[in-house]
Amino acid sequence: MAQKLILPINKTRITAGYKNVNYRKEFGYNHYGVDYTDQQKSDKTVWGSGDGVITHVGWSNSSGNVICAVYKNCQLTNGQVKDLTIRYYHLEKIYVKAGDKITKDTRLGLYGNTGASTGDHLHIEIDTDTKYPNYTPQLGKNSGVLKAGTDSTINPTLALYVKATAPDYQSVKNSGYNTVASSDLQFKNY
């Protein structure tokens, strides 16, 4: 049976959206993921999104402390079922290692400001390529644990659900920054 993945931060605040036009103007490159923080900036816990396995943990000068995880049989909001990779960047702390099996109740780490980052946040990318989980279109050249790859990412709103029920009590808020579009907020309920 397919699984529904949930948000990695329970009280999510979105600070930059997927392939956002204003982000591209500001930074000069495409944003292949989304940036999240905690709504109160008080709980930096990054949770597993469902049943998966950690494939890579390591350092990248561009992306700081990095985790890559593969989740199988994920129910997308468009009706498709796909295996997915999620890459997590800029972590302050990492609590898992390669090979670990995880669930939505696994603490993966704390989000932070490591690598080329200008403030505490979590950057995640959701990729339909699960054969090469550490290859990202975000990088023009290899950097530590991450390798430069082609784009097979999808909008996180296609794959992540908001689990408003116990024990997760998830919700989503807009930061109001011009790097967030209304499409970045269109999550379905779990």
Compose the 59-98 pattern: x for residues touching Zn ion by CB under 5 A, - for all others. ----------------------------------------
CB of 123 to Zn ion, least distance (A): 3
Q: Both tokens of residue 187?
A: 């999550």
Stretch that binds Zn ion, among 7-15, 33-41, 161-169, 173-181 (CB under 5 A): 33-41
3-state SS of the chain is CCECEECCCCEEEEEECCCCHHHHHHHCCCCCCEEEEECCCCCCEEECCCCEEEEEEEEECCCEEEEEEEEEEEECCCCCEEEEEEEEEEEEEECCCCCCEECCCCEEEEEECCCCCCCCEEEEEEECCCCCCCEECCCCCCECCEEECCCCEECHHHCEEECCCCCCCCEEEECCCCCCCHHHHCCEEC
Q: Which is nearer to Zn ion, 4 or 123 (CB)?
A: 123
* Binder among 9, 18, 35, 135 for Zn ion (CB under 5 A): 35
Name the maximum alpha-carbon separation found in the chain: 42
Number of residues engaging Zn ion in binding (CB under 5 A)? 2
Residue nearest to Zn ion (CB): 123
Stretch that binds Zn ion, among 27-35, 61-69, 139-147, 164-172 (CB under 5 A): 27-35
CB of 35 to Zn ion, least distance (A): 4
CB of 114 to Zn ion, least distance (A): 13
Residue 123 touching Zn ion (CB under 5 A): yes
Residue 184 touching Zn ion (CB under 5 A): no
Residue 125 touching Zn ion (CB under 5 A): no
Give the interface with Zn ion as residue ranges (CB under 5 A). Answer: 35, 123
